[in-house]
């Protein structure tokens, strides 16, 4: 996760204004035909989250510090990092690389198999936006810990193969906690509530999505575990947010309809 998420949003203010209904009101903008929603493209025009920054949980306050240098836990992190390098060239390595997607509207398609449907943003616009806005909430909650602890990523400490070429910003951002893991787990918790009959598969996929970060060599195992804590906190905070709850009801119906028509 780039630590400069907020800065990128500011840098793209002009574009965001052009997509006012997406980035400001939190609703997909209508196209000229008013038949299909228009979504964001990436971080630059990404919609904001639901939570107010001053009232949101702060990961620097509730997460324990990352493993201390030389501790048994840090040693175990290193052992797992080295061991997972052997997965290069395997299907799991390829899956971990694919799991790097997080900011696009179609990123939740990682749950296609678990849900038993194809995730098509245009067919589920409120669900797409709800899951997208959760990324903004993740940044609000995790950034203080990312910046405060600033744990170096495994491929920076001990260069070795990663499942995708890391961009420069990645090596310059904190490893603890894992943002991908946090969002993947938060998504899994939300989707499992919307589709309880598929909860086991959804939650298993959410766990695997986080483990992909360790397999890729961009996070340690303890970063992933901390990320799941953050993901649970995101969902707990959103449960008390009226706007999220209103969107949740609409999004859940969209998902039910999509599942009905796919049978």
Active site residues: 180, 213, 219, 223
Rounded Cα distance, 250 and 35, in Å: 18
For residue 135, which of 238, 249, 252 has the smallest C-alpha distance? 238
Length of the chain: 263
Residue 18, CA distances (Å) to 21, 24, 245, 261 in order: 9, 10, 27, 34
Per the omega criterion (within 30 degrees of 0), is the bond before 23 cis?
Answer: no
- Helical H segments across 63-157, by residue range: 72-84, 91-98, 112-115, 125-149, 154-157
CA 140-149-81 angle, to 5 degrees, is 105
Tell how far CA 118 is from the center of its chain.
19
């Amino acid at each position: 996760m780039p630590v400069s998420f907020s800065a990128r949003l500011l840098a793209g203010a002009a574009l965001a204004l052009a997509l006012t209904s997406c980035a400001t009101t939190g609703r997909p903008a209508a196209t000229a035909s008013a038949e299909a929603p228009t979504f964001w493209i990436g971080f630059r025009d990404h919609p904001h989250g639901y939570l107010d920054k001053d009232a949101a949980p702060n990961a620097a306050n509730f997460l324990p510090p990352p493993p201390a240098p030389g501790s048994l836990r840090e040693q175990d992190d290193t052992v797992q990092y080295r061991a997972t390098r052997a997965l290069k060239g395997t299907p799991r390595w390829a899956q971990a690389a694919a799991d790097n997607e997080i900011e696009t509207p179609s990123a939740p398609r990682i749950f296609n198999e678990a849900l038993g449907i194809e995730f098509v943003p245009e067919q589920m616009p409120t669900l797409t936006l709800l899951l997208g806005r959760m990324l903004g909430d993740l940044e609000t909650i995790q950034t203080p810990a990312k910046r405060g602890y600033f744990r170096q990523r495994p491929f920076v400490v001990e260069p070795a193969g990663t499942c995708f070429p890391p961009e420069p910003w990645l090596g310059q951002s904190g490893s603890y906690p894992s943002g991908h893991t946090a969002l993947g787990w938060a998504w899994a918790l939300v989707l499992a509530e919307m589709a309880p009959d598929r909860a086991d598969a959804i939650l298993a996929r959410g766990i695997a999505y986080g483990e992909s970060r360790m397999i890729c060599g961009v996070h340690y195992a303890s970063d992933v575990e901390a990320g799941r804590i953050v993901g649970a906190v995101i969902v707990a905070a959103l449960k008390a947010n009226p706007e999220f709850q209103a969107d949740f009801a609409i999004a859940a119906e969209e998902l039910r309809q999509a599942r009905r028509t796919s049978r």
